[in-house]
Chain A
Amino acid sequence: MREIRYLDAMNEALAEEMARDERVFVIGEDVQAGTFGVTSRLVQHFGPDRVIDTPLSETAVAGSCLGAAMAGYRPVGDFMFADFIYIAANEIMINTAKWRFAHGGRVTLPLVYLAAMGGGARNGPEHSQSPEATIMHTPGLKLAVPSTPYDAKGLLKSAIRDDNPVVFFYHKRLLGLRGDVPQEEYTIPLGVADVKRAGDDVTVVATGQMVHQALAVAAEIENAVSLEVIDPRSLEPLDIETIVASVKKTGRLVVMDEDTRRCGVGAEIVMQVIEHCFDSLDAPPQRLGAANLPIPGGYTERHVLPQPPDLRAAIEAVIGQPLPA
């Protein structure tokens, strides 16, 4: 199978879906050039009417998508950084999320909001967030968070074909990651988790870049502890069944994501596991996320965002013994 980069996988998904359905268009700031490369070269194929560069106006980008979606198009709005969704919070969290519901289900909103999340680039508090929990907390928005090129392409194609609003957070530190992506057409449904590594002793649920940290730690300690690494791939809908099945096998759970730990993705997933299979738990679950602080710029970032040693410590806590050095 061929290997391509995560960003190229997303670019392929956009190009294929734009070719497949002329109602699909891309709109946002500098999407013709593509700030992260995800939307690059589309304008040469599809023209400026379908790859629309906008003024610096996030609420106008979101409103354009929302309005055009209910008027028969399938827009993909790009917000550059996930942090910037807060600028258009009224348009996204109130209007996009609630419009269909508030109007008795009589409008459909087939749209995608794309944005790059995640730290690790030392970009500071306004360019490093992963507002997964914010979206997950808002009824009416679906949320995809791919960790591999294969998942990024398949999920993005599904998101574009979905008749509902899908927020699609790709990770800025994974853009250059290479991985197997078949030439042939495929999609990955939202709401289906992927077991990235099978194991028996501890279930680790991780998203985005944290999936790769978990896989690295799993490899380091494989002779001592067998980790099962699960990537939910979408947080709404959330495939809790796959997670619960794993916890019933391992009896131990660690959740790791980059959003703020307080009221975060880990809090939600741990609680859902408790509701489903409390009796299967052999140790209190652990959650890893960003400390309850803004994400600092520069090299202090690593003290706020979860790191591999934090995962090792969480694993030690759930197994009740130290890991080999």
Chain B
Amino acid sequence: MSLTNEQLTTLYTNLVRARRMDEKLVQGLADGKTVSFFHSGQGEEAVGVGGCTFLRPDDYVYYHHRGHGLAHIISKGGSPKEFIAEHYGKATGSCGGIGAIHSVDPALGILGFSGTIGSAFPVSLGWGLAAKKNGRQQVTVCFFGDGASNRGTLHEAMNMAAVMKLPIVWVCHNNLYAQYMPLRDAFPSEDITSLAVPFRMPAESVDGQDVVAVHEAVQTAVARARAGEGPSLVECKTYRYRAHAEGVPDIAHYEPRPESEIEAWKKRDPVILFGQRLMEDGVLTRGDLDRIEAEAASEMDAAERFAADSPSPDAAILEHMLYSD
């Protein structure tokens, strides 16, 4: 399944777009425009981009809370304008400005997510069940973190999905921390893939900073799911550059995360790594990278202005949101 130059360029473009977009939301919070909290996904973009760019439009994606799923959502075709507007609490946001950290785009298989960690598993199970029942070969790709893997919901959902052979790909962002809790003190293995063993499903651990590696592992699992062979697990070893959330301390337990650790991971930045590789392989030139960079910056500037200039929602809509008439 080697990628064409055009596909490689698309992956790179989405990485750059995701990074610029994440920076906008961080800045938006500092400027008092991002209305809720924000959990930056900088450093982890290759997981969402590699996992979502080449899915079918009707495949379901449970996006991850890192970056509030921005890398996953824009790679699936979602609108940065609506995403940023939602985070600015504006009526033009995908949830009308009342979801804040939530995004939704049903036509793209983006049906939302929950603010409670571990909710990913049971809901994705339901999407997988629907996909199996409808026979349209849809696949559900569920992103979760190493922290979520500590929840009991993982056991219930992964077990049932395996027994029922549901078309689900479980993709872990293993970034080594659940808020302040290091994985080494939360899980008796370095590898989340060990969780696949009791459920007898294939599992692959990949370099989460390598967008092509993520893409290939996820697509292998997607093909298996689409063929009716059941769920798989993909673990992406990655790292977040910023604190758990903007404005909270960047710590492990109660002490700062090691500078050496952060610097080591930043040397393996997914955007820079892939750009260099594409130049070395002769796919893109320095000029191409600069153009992609400029276009992404321009797109996100425009999206940010759209959000900032949009009206706030009328509170009268709230009463009509609860139930479908």
Question: Mask for A151-183, Cβ within 8 A of B = 1, else 0?
Answer: 000000000000110000000000000000000
Selected interface stretch from B154-162, B176-184, B290-298: B154-162
Q: Is the CB of A102 within 8 A of B99?
A: yes
List B contacts of A105 (CB < 8 A).
96, 320-321, 324
List B contacts of A100 (CB < 8 A).
321-324
Q: How many positions in chain B have a CB within 8 Å of any CB in the partner chain?
A: 45
Q: Is the CB of B122 within 8 A of A64?
A: yes
Interface residues of A in 71-114 (CB under 8 A from B): 71-73, 75, 90-91, 94-95, 99-109
Docked CA distance A54–B126 (Å): 13
Answer yes or no: B10 CB below 8 A from chain A CBs: no
List B contacts of A134 (CB < 8 A).
none
Answer yes or no: A62 CB below 8 A from chain B CBs: yes
Q: How large is the interface on A (under 10, 10 to 19, 20 to 34, 35 or more residues)?
A: 35 or more
Interface residues of B in 70-115 (CB under 8 A from A): 93-99, 102, 104, 106, 111-112, 114-115
Answer yes or no: B172 CB below 8 A from chain A CBs: no
List B contacts of A54 (CB < 8 A).
160
Closest to A165 in B: B323
With most chain B CB atoms within 10 A of its CB, the pick from A102, A142, A164 is: A102
Answer yes or no: B129 CB below 8 A from chain A CBs: yes
Q: Is the CB of B123 within 8 A of A104?
A: no
List B contacts of A73 (CB < 8 A).
130, 133
Q: Is the CB of B321 within 8 A of A95?
A: no
Interface residues of A in 122-170 (CB under 8 A from B): 139-140, 142, 163-164
Closest to A22 in B: B133
Closest to B122 in A: A63
Closest to B118 in A: A90
Docked CA distance A90–B118 (Å): 9
List A contacts of B127 (CB < 8 A).
67-68, 70-71
Query: A70-B111, A71-B130, A73-B130 known; A60 and B122 CB under 8 Å?
Result: yes
Answer yes or no: A280 CB below 8 A from chain B CBs: no
Answer yes or no: B128 CB below 8 A from chain A CBs: yes
List A contacts of B153 (CB < 8 A).
59-60, 63, 90
Q: Which of A64, A90, A101, A142 contacts B129 (CB 8 A)?
A: A64
Answer yes or no: B4 CB below 8 A from chain A CBs: no
Query: A59-B156, A95-B114 known; A49 and B133 CB under 8 Å?
Result: yes
List B contacts of A49 (CB < 8 A).
133
Count, A-B residue pairs, CB within 8 A: 148
Q: Is the CB of B114 within 8 A of A99?
A: yes
In the assembled complex, how far is the CB of residue A261 from the closest CB belonging to chain B, in whole angstroms?
A: 28
Closest to B119 in A: A95
Docked CA distance A60–B155 (Å): 9
Docked CA distance A100–B118 (Å): 19
In the assembled complex, how far is the CB of residue A287 from the closest CB belonging to chain B, in whole angstroms?
A: 27
Query: A71-B131, A94-B116 known; A101 and B322 CB under 8 Å?
Result: yes
Q: Is the CB of B322 within 8 A of A140?
A: yes
Q: Which of A67, A104, A139, A164 contacts B126 (CB 8 A)?
A: A67
List A contacts of B115 (CB < 8 A).
102
Q: Which of B95, B121, B324 contacts A108 (CB 8 A)?
A: B324
Answer yes or no: B124 CB below 8 A from chain A CBs: yes
Q: Is the CB of A101 within 8 A of B98?
A: yes
Q: Which of B96, B104, B123, B325 contacts A67 (CB 8 A)?
A: B123
With most chain A CB atoms within 10 A of its CB, the pick from B106, B116, B160 is: B160
Q: Is the CB of B126 within 8 A of A69?
A: yes
Q: Is the CB of A104 within 8 A of B95?
A: yes
Q: Is the CB of A95 within 8 A of B160?
A: no
Docked CA distance A102–B98 (Å): 7
Docked CA distance A25–B324 (Å): 21
Question: Mask for B145-180, Cβ within 8 A of A = 1, else 0?
Answer: 000000011001101100100000000000000000
Query: A68-B129, A99-B112, A102-B99 known; A55 and B156 CB under 8 Å?
Result: yes
Q: Is the CB of B134 within 8 A of A72?
A: yes
In the assembled complex, how far is the CB of residue A55 from the closest CB belonging to chain B, in whole angstroms?
A: 6
List B contacts of A103 (CB < 8 A).
94-95, 99, 102, 104, 111-112
Docked CA distance A101–B129 (Å): 23
Answer yes or no: A300 CB below 8 A from chain B CBs: no
Q: Is the CB of B163 within 8 A of A55?
A: yes
Q: Is the CB of B126 within 8 A of A68?
A: yes
Closest to B134 in A: A72
Q: Is the CB of B112 within 8 A of A57?
A: no
List B contacts of A90 (CB < 8 A).
116, 118-119, 153
Docked CA distance A163–B159 (Å): 29
Closest to B131 in A: A71
Query: A49-B133, A67-B128, A72-B130 known; A102 and B95 CB under 8 Å?
Result: yes
Closest to A90 in B: B116
Docked CA distance A60–B123 (Å): 8
Answer yes or no: B38 CB below 8 A from chain A CBs: no
Between A and B, 15 residue pairs with Cβ closer than 8 Å are A57-B159, A63-B122, A63-B153, A63-B157, A64-B160, A67-B126, A68-B126, A71-B131, A75-B126, A90-B119, A95-B122, A99-B114, A104-B93, A163-B323, A163-B324
Known pairs A60-B159, A67-B111, A67-B123 / 16 extra A-B pairs, C-beta < 8 Å: A60-B160, A63-B119, A64-B129, A67-B122, A67-B130, A69-B126, A71-B127, A91-B123, A94-B114, A95-B119, A100-B321, A104-B97, A105-B324, A107-B112, A139-B322, A163-B325
Q: Which 4 residue pairs of A and B lie closest in terms of their CB atoms, listed nearest first?
A: A67-B126, A63-B122, A104-B95, A71-B130
